[in-house]
Amino acid sequence: MVAEKVRESGMTIGEVAYQVGIATSAIRYYEEIGLLPPPARVNGRRRYDWSAVQRLCVIEYAQQAGFTLGEIRELFFGFAVGTHPTERWKALAQRKLQELEEQSRRIQAAQDVLREGIRCGCLTMEQCTVWLSGLEQSPPVR
Amino acid sequence: MVAEKVRESGMTIGEVAYQVGIATSAIRYYEEIGLLPPPARVNGRRRYDWSAVQRLCVIEYAQQAGFTLGEIRELFFGFAVGTHPTERWKALAQRKLQELEEQSRRIQAAQDVLREGIRCGCLTMEQCTVWLSGLEQSPPVR
DNA sequence: TACACTCTTCAAGTGCCCTTGATGTCAAGA
DNA sequence: TCTTGACATCAAGGGCACTTGAAGAGTGTA
């Protein structure tokens, strides 16, 4: 369980899980859905090196930024046949960038509304005109 | 189906759904989970007024900003017994505000990384050190 | 060696947010 | 009047991202 316990043959799934701060079941799940390459085995047990830890960190990081596992897989491996990898990647990244900008705007608007709401003295959200004025300024999309 | 078709007795669920741009099934679901008050009925059919449309817009809006339906319900009705409504609301709003700030930071970081990645010439995300450097600057939480 | 612990697979369960399907009723228009 | 479409309820299904449970096998330490 010590942080640096890396035997010659690599880390166990439990050690990796501990490093990254996720459950072993999640790691197996990522492998199952093709997000994490199947590692080497010793007596049937998975053995990982540091690249797996890095990759899992990237996955966590991307997830927290709002990427789905499908999107992350696309960004890792999603290179359509006949397309130049870099171009494909850039197209995906560009699209996601726009989505994140949109998401960021919505969060911004919600923050404004919440801040206003905290300052105003309404008893319930429904009585509060702040929400509705916020709505007018940036109506829901979709 | 015309936008202004509001008979004296109110709008049907289909009309409301059309106004807000969601499915009728979603509206029934919101009612079921207590997010939308049961409207009046005419011959067993739901009849809504404009406040329902407004409320649904707020729900959509809040959802898009990352609120779960449970949180939205809390913000609408979540006033614990014995607590002053406003205080309870403000506490919820404050907590959510912090979450949104955190979320905003993560999105920002991911945007930076994507922009860097678009500029850099790596063939796959894995070869790209941009991700890993981004990781070092703002490691995954949790 | 004994025993606790960690690992393995596989199937099923969970929580969220709805959608779909079955079956039946009601309303508006040709 | 007849037909079409929208509505009603209720149960089940679906996608996502996992977790949990069962049953068995390998590992490490006293």
Summarize pLDDT for B69-128 with one digit per residue, the tens: 998 988 877 554 555 667 777 888 888 999 999 999 999 988 988 888 777 766 555 556
Contact B8, B18 (CB under 8 A): no
**pLDDT (0 to 100) of residue A44:** 95
Quickly give B80 CA vs D7 C1' distance in Å.
36
Min Cα–Cα distance to chain B from A84, Å: 9
Residue B63: closest CA among B22, B102, B24, B110: B22
Give the H/E segment covering residue A42. Answer: strand A40-42
Whole-model pTM? 0.81
Q: How far apart are CA B108 and CA A17, in angstroms?
A: 27
CB of A21 nearer than 7 A to strand D:
no
Question: Which pLDDT band holds residue A139 (cuts at 50, 70, 90)?
Answer: very low
Residue whose Cα is closest to the C1' of C19? B25
- Angle of the A13-20 helix axis to the A50-64 helix axis, nearest 10: 40
pLDDT in tens, B10-61: 999 999 999 999 999 999 999 999 999 999 999 999 999 999 999 999 899 8
Q: How far apart are CA A118 and CA A114, in angstroms?
A: 6
A108 — contact with chain B (CB < 8 Å)?
Answer: yes
**8 Å CB contact of A107 and B107:** yes
Question: Which pLDDT band holds residue A23 (cuts at 50, 70, 90)?
Answer: very high
Provide residues 59-88 of A with CB closer than 7 Å to any strand D atom.
Answer: 63, 68-70
Contact A46, A56 (CB under 8 A): no
Q: How far apart are CA A16 and CA A54, in angstroms?
A: 10
Mutation for testing the B interface, residue in A18, A63, A89 having most B CBs under 10 Å: A89
| Count of H-run helices and E-run strands, chain B | 6, 2
Quickly give A126 CA vs D14 C1' distance in Å.
33
**8 Å CB contact of A107 and B66:** yes
**pLDDT (0 to 100) of residue A122:** 61
**pLDDT (0 to 100) of residue A128:** 61
Nearest 5°: the CA angle B136, B138, B142 is 110
**pLDDT (0 to 100) of residue B114:** 84
**pLDDT (0 to 100) of residue A140:** 46
pLDDT in tens, A73-127: 888 775 545 555 677 778 888 888 999 999 999 899 888 888 887 777 665 555 5
**pLDDT (0 to 100) of residue B140:** 47
Q: How far apart are CA A134 and CA A111, in angstroms?
A: 10
CB of A124 nearer than 7 A to strand D:
no
Instruction: Name the E strands within chain B.
Output: 40-42, 45-47
